[in-house]
Chain A
């Protein structure tokens, strides 16, 4: 595997279900991100992990719970979601360095439908 992978690619879940999205990066990066992409809305940054530590949480509802066990893996745990949470969830990674930044590399996304 190369780049950033995400599983599953598609997920349909009921509002009472619990599921998890998985992201893995094979690039040796030290930062990972979760984004939400909804129709007709700009990309929304949800969570940022730098060196496995969460450094950003953009007022995301508690029904979304991130986990970063190591610098290569990132999870998004989902529970009691709402229909408006249906969206494409994108994972990204980058190499953050002091005094500069490198571009983010994105995975293919997980298309989530909440019924």
Chain B
């Protein structure tokens, strides 16, 4: 069965600083991996996805994530945080014919 661990329920960065949100997955088969963002009182919006093509995946709003099979990780990064990046971020894993499994989420705060 797949599972996802997001390290840190809350991450705080200064505006303009690097954003790093950590995600480790467990999967018995090559996974599909996703990062979603949720702004207050809204649904989840897809940031990016890994589907076994390039290991470095670029998403919307300047975010990117790197799939590292040896580390079973799929960390999300952004070189320079903006105030509008403050939100909840969810990592998710899916195998073929298995449900999408979400991590518990990481709340990102951006300090001016």
A interface residue numbers (CB < 8 A to B): 4, 6, 41-43, 45, 48, 56, 90, 92, 99-101, 103-109, 111
Contacts and interface: CB of A to CB of B under 8 A. Distances in A.
Given A90-B43, A109-B41, 20 more contacts: A42-B102, A42-B103, A43-B90, A43-B102, A45-B99, A45-B100, A56-B99, A92-B44, A99-B96, A100-B96, A101-B32, A101-B94, A103-B34, A103-B46, A104-B46, A105-B46, A108-B41, A108-B42, A109-B42, A111-B41
Given A43-B90, A100-B51, A106 B99 contact: no
Interface in B84-103: 90, 94, 96, 99-100, 102-103
Interface of B: 32, 34, 36, 41-46, 49, 51, 90, 94, 96, 99-100, 102-105
Contacts of B41: 108-109, 111
Contacts of A48: 99
- Among all A-B residue pairs, the 6 with the closest Cβ atoms: A106-B43, A106-B44, A43-B102, A42-B104, A108-B43, A103-B46
A84 B96 CA distance: 33
Nearest to B34: A103
A20 to B, nearest CB: 19
Nearest to A41: B104
Contacts of A43: 90, 102
B43 A4 contact: yes
Nearest to A42: B104
A45 B36 CA distance: 16
